[in-house]
Structures are given as structure tokens and as C-alpha cells.
Copies of this chain bind each other. A is one copy, B any other.
Amino acid sequence: MRFAHRIYKMEDKELLSLMELAEAPDIISFSGGFPSPETYPIDEIKESFVRVLDEEGKEALSYSSASGYNPLREEIAARMDRLFGMDMTKDEIIITSGSQQALDMSGMLFIDEGDVILFETPSYLGALNALKAYEAELIAVPTDKDGIEIEALRQSIEKYGDRVKLIYVIPDYQNPTSRCWSDKRRKEFVEFISEYDIPVLEDAAYAELTFGDTLKKPLIAYDTLGQVVYCGTFSKTFCPGLRVAWICAHKRIIEKFLLLKTNVDLSSSAIAQRQMVYYMQHYDYDAHIRKITLLYKSRRDLMMEIVRKEFPDTVEFDVPEGGLFLWLSLPAGKDARELLALALKENVAFVPGGSFYPDNAKNNEMRVNFSNMTEEKIVKGMTILGRITTEFLK
């Protein structure tokens, strides 16, 4: 049987195996990008489902409109206005079935075969795979500690010219490095890109997971031309099992997404959207986020402590100021995939850094999640990983 061409370019099952690894019961897995299930407000979610079904059961079990449940779009717009000093309305919001769907629809909206997508490296594999399905050429742009490097970006745009159709970035506590773009770089980037008619896909999955006191303004808040497509989600700050996320963009772009949404799944779950609205209106979502970031911060601290104690000095890292991941660099030339093979033998998993570069271009780094395992497992797993790493680097 013949499949479409795109399928034959899509042999990277890495993300799939990650999800499966993370499901094995005996393993201490630092490989997922998951929030910690013990933080889910299960009782409040249950109460929300019950109330939604009692009060609006028929509507909650019917199709939603393709753009999403209006009160949820309004809640999200109001929240973005409050957090980021913006002036959004619901018409600039469309609900998606998780942020992954927003990435897929962005590929569908902007990419023809042979188009070029620029993205900061390293970057989120799942986005790259979704965009690759539209047969784009993925061109890596280096980053420094402040964010994507503007000069390198300029060179890429000059080199590929009109073929550049999208720039994909994760400015906040990026997956996999947990780096957060500086305010200065954000401004520079938006100013720079305003010279070009190229849409920017801003993946804000980790935006609210800061260990500091303030949130940084997203790129879309600096954007005056309507170039930025902002992808937000409840998966990392609330729970992923409901599959509720959103795109925020200029109306003329939202209208196009609306056409695509009807194609890809008609609408997102009406009951999940209504549950989310009930929760936001009756409980303190901000307090919930503060609670989980405190937990993740303490797990980060614990993990840093063990890394400093158990890992050799040749392993380099920055202390993450938010997000879910610690990014470790082995000395150049070392291959983290070999280290993973050793770790798996002792039931410890992480993600080798090559998975975050197209064609596994760089292999000496590793992504270690600190949000999802209990303190006990962090101590046990990281101590094992430290010992294995020490032996591996001898």
C-alpha cells in the first residue's frame, strides 16, 4: 500500500518511544515533559464536572462550536490581559485540543512543501515533527542565554529569502533547555521581525511556570503588526488529560485557523471546555499555579543538590529559573544515547539531547525532568545517574 510522501520522511519515533518509556511502571523516568499528577486538583475537577453535567449536561455533551466555548475564550482573553497587560478579546482566541494541535494546524496553515521553517535550537521535538509533516525544511538558528541570536536569524532569512514561512520559538523556560529569553531580546526580536512578513509561532507552554516573582511579557505583547501566533495551554499548569489549549492571534489568522479546526476535529470537547470555565470561575487558578511552581522549585533545588554532589565537574548546566527541565551538557564528543542505554539497565530514563536537534545533530546533552518524580525518586534516580555518568566519563 502506498502512503503519502510525508509518511516516509516521518520515521522519527522518538517522541512516541518517550511516551511509552514514561509509562513503564518500574522505571524512574526523568524523560517526560509532564506536570506532576499529585498536583492535579482532582476534587475540584470532579466538582466541576458534576456541576457542569447537572446544570448544562445537554450542552456539555453536544458539539462545541469550532472556535471553542465562548465563556472559555473570554476567560482566557481576560487572563492574558491581566497577566501580560494586553487588550485581547475572545475573537482573537481559538480553543485547540492541546497545544500539539495548535502546532499541527500552524504547519497546515503556513507551510507548503519545500518551505523553510526557522527555529531556535535545541527545540521541542514534537513541534518539529508536526511541522515536518508539512514537508518543510527545518533550519536551526542558534540561541544564547538571552534567546534566539538575532544576527544568525538575519543571516538565515537573507539566505533562504521568500522560502522562510515560519519562525518557531519557545521564549519561556524553553523545552529542552529551560532558558528564558530576556526582555531586551524579546523586544529586539519583535522589532527585527517586523521588517519581514513572516509569522512567528510562539509556544508558551511553560510561560507561567516561573520560579521568580514576575512573568515576562510574551512576544505577542510586543507585536503591533499581528505577526505572532501565541500557543497557550492548560496541560502544564493544570493537567494534560483534558486536552484544552488555545491559540491567540490576530483575527485574520484566527479566521483561517477556524477553517482548519473544522477540518481536523470539528471542535474540542465541550465538556472539558465547560469544566475548565467552571474551575476558573469557582477556584483560584493563580493560587494553584503558585502551589505547583513552589513544588517544582523545591524539586529543582533537590535535583541541583544531587547533581552538584554526584555528577562529575565536567558535566555543565545552568540552574533553571522555571519550567520542567534541567539541561546537562557532557563533554564534547560524548554521546548521551550511550549513557541512556546504561541508565536504562538500572531503570533510570532521561532524554538524550540529540532528540532536540534536527537529524540528531548534537549528541552530548541530556534533558532531565524534575517536575514529575517524587523527592524520593529524584534522590534515588539522580544518584544512580550521577554514578553511571561518572563511570561513563572516566
Q: Are B197 and A1 in contact (CB under 8 A)?
A: yes
Selecting from A39-47, A292-300, A345-353, the interface stretch reads: A39-47
Per-residue interface assignment for chain A, residues 196 to 240, with 1 indicating a CB less than 8 Å from any chain B CB and 0 otherwise: 010100000000000000000000000000110000000000011
Per-residue interface assignment for chain A, residues 89 to 124, with 1 indicating a CB less than 8 Å from any chain B CB and 0 otherwise: 000000001101100100011111101000000000
Q: Are B61 and A262 in contact (CB under 8 A)?
A: no
Q: Are A100 and B266 in contact (CB under 8 A)?
A: yes
Chain B residues with CB under 8 A of A165: 2, 4
The answer to the question of A333 belonging to the interface, with a C-beta cut-off of 8 Å to chain B, is no
Q: What is the total number of copies of this protein in its complex?
A: 2
Which chain B residue lies CB-closest to A255?
Answer: B13
Q: Are A109 and B45 in contact (CB under 8 A)?
A: no
CB distance from A194 to the nearest CB of B (A): 12
The answer to the question of A16 belonging to the interface, with a C-beta cut-off of 8 Å to chain B, is yes
Q: Are A264 and B104 in contact (CB under 8 A)?
A: yes
Q: Are A65 and B23 in contact (CB under 8 A)?
A: yes
Q: Are A2 and B45 in contact (CB under 8 A)?
A: no
Q: Are A241 and B97 in contact (CB under 8 A)?
A: no
The answer to the question of A373 belonging to the interface, with a C-beta cut-off of 8 Å to chain B, is no
Interface residues on A, range: 35 or more
The answer to the question of A63 belonging to the interface, with a C-beta cut-off of 8 Å to chain B, is yes
The answer to whether residues A10 and B259 also contact, given A4-B111, A101-B264 and a CB cut-off of 8 A, is yes
Chain B residues with CB under 8 A of A60: 241
The answer to the question of A246 belonging to the interface, with a C-beta cut-off of 8 Å to chain B, is no
CA distance A161 to B225 in the complex (A): 47
Which chain B residue lies CB-closest to A238?
Answer: B61
Selecting from A50-58, A282-290, A312-320, the interface stretch reads: A50-58
Looking at the complex, which one of B57, B113, B243, B252 makes contact with A42 (CB distance below 8 Å)?
Answer: B57
Looking at the complex, which one of B2, B100, B243, B267 makes contact with A197 (CB distance below 8 Å)?
Answer: B2
The answer to the question of A195 belonging to the interface, with a C-beta cut-off of 8 Å to chain B, is no
The answer to the question of A85 belonging to the interface, with a C-beta cut-off of 8 Å to chain B, is no
Chain B residues with CB under 8 A of A265: 97-98, 100-101, 104, 243, 265
The answer to whether residues A37 and B50 also contact, given A4-B110, A265-B100, A266-B98 and a CB cut-off of 8 A, is no
